[in-house]
Amino acid sequence: MAAALFAVSIALQSYSVVADEGGVSFWLPGQFGSLAAVPQQPGWSLAMIYYHAHADAGGDVAFARQVTRGRITANFAGNLDANLTADADLVLAAPSYVFASPILGGQLAVSMAGIFGRNKASVDATVTGAGPFGLTVSGGRSDSVTGFGDLYPQVSLRWNQGVNNFMTYVMGDVPVGAYDSARLANLGIGHGAIDAGGGYTYFNPQTGHELSVVTGLTYNFKNTDTDYQNGVDWHLDWGASQFLSKQLHIGLVGYVYNQLSGDSGGGNRVGAFKSRVIGIGPQLGYIFPIGDHQGYLNFKAYKEFDASHRADGWNAWVTFVISPAAPGEASPARRPMVTK
């Protein structure tokens, strides 16, 4: 569970399908899911995640994307009928290590995740300018990129008290991925960020009931290429599942994402541009032995709605985790976390 959790927690964040500067945020909603706060078996784990997302946005995000890519350098007075479409196919690799010795009475874990994949975006627009004679211009633009994204380190602590589990985490963005401020599609976000929060998991092995909630805040550093700084973001991820056996569980996952403070900086020509989105969908997970380790396979998907200043659509995750098994058996309480 730890591996999947970290894998998920650090997952991807830099697609043109998300928000803030030009509609793109550091935090990918849904990074945490079921069993987020349950302690893990000590040792090394590895999570591999395939992520596919499709999203569409209207004129506000399409216009902002062109502004932050340097294609519009003045305030615009007129109307914009535009649509932005974005698709991402990404693979995340996230090794993690869980320490055996307690720290502050809890279980310390560290991880580092990186991504490789393809991101593509296109904009179709009709601009009607203001003025005594008016102006109408139509056109479109497409862009795609394949390569490596940013790096996402994470540190977490977990505590267990019977069926109640608690966790706190800090994660960040190291902006080393493929990024060009003049491009429509990128795999890096072009600036650093730090995110911190906490979570709770109720898990009863006897009944198989499980419920997890994780919330946090993101502080974004300024993008020096564009002189643009995203506001502070708040997010809440949740997962609920029922174990039908020690190996199989089904349930729901969801998230709420909301930008609390407006964007700023000399390169900001779109105003506060606060974004929000809500997502919900199904999940299915299966645990199985792999020698003296255990494997975990999870499928989950989200349908987004109530979006503002942000592309929205749907996304799907396939997570495969190899982690140490609990002594004697692969207990569901020690399985890879049900998230991406």
The secondary element (H helix, E strand) that includes residue 5 is helix 2-10
* Whether residue 61 has pLDDT greater than 80: no
| Averaged pLDDT score across all residues of the chain | 80
CA distance 262 to 229: 9
Q: 140: buried, middle or exposed (CB in 10 Å: 19+, 13-18, 0-12)? A: exposed
Tell me, what's the pLDDT at 123?
Answer: 77
**What is the average pLDDT across 45-67?**
74
Q: Taking the domains of the chain in order of start, what are their residue ranges?
A: 2-334
Instruction: Give residue 35's region: left, alpha or beta (phi > 0; psi -120 to 50).
Output: left
Compute CA distances 58 → 191, 267, 307, whole Å.
25, 21, 11
Contacts of 301 (CB under 8 A, 6+ apart): 281, 282, 283, 314, 315, 316, 317
- Which residue matches tokens 């919330």? 215
Contact 148, 115 (CB under 8 A): yes
Give dist(CA 336, CA 107) in Å, integer: 15
Three-state SS at 4: helix
| Residue 73 clears pLDDT 70, i.e. is over it | no
d(CA 123, CA 49): 28
329 falls in which pLDDT band (50, 70, 90)?
low
- CA 234, 274, 25: angle at the middle one, nearest 5? 60
Tell which wins on pLDDT, 153 or 292: 153
Higher pLDDT, 216 or 309: 216
* Residues 253, 302 contacting (CB under 8 angstroms): yes
Q: Give pLDDT, residue 37.
A: 94
Say if residues 325 and 334 touch (Cβ distance below 8 Å). yes
Confidence of residue 22 (pLDDT cuts 50, 70, 90): low
Architecture of domain 2-334: Beta Barrel (2.40)
Choose the weakest-confidence range: 45-54, 90-99, 247-256, 323-332: 323-332
CA distance 242 to 294: 20
Stretch 304-313: mean pLDDT: 85
pTM for the model: 0.79
pLDDT for residue 81: 60
The pLDDT of residue 9 is above 50: no
CA distance 185 to 179: 8
CA–CA separation, 319 and 337 (whole Å): 10
Contact (Cβ atoms closer than 8 angstroms) between residue 7 and residue 113: yes
Helices (H), the chain: 2-10, 59-68
> Could you give the maximum distance between any two Cα atoms of the chain, in Å?
80
* DSSP-assigned letters across all residues of 69-129: TTS--S---EEEEEEEEEEEEEEEEEEEEE-SS-BTTBEEEEEEEEEEEEEEEEEEEEEEE
Q: Which residue has the tokens 């991504």?
A: 115
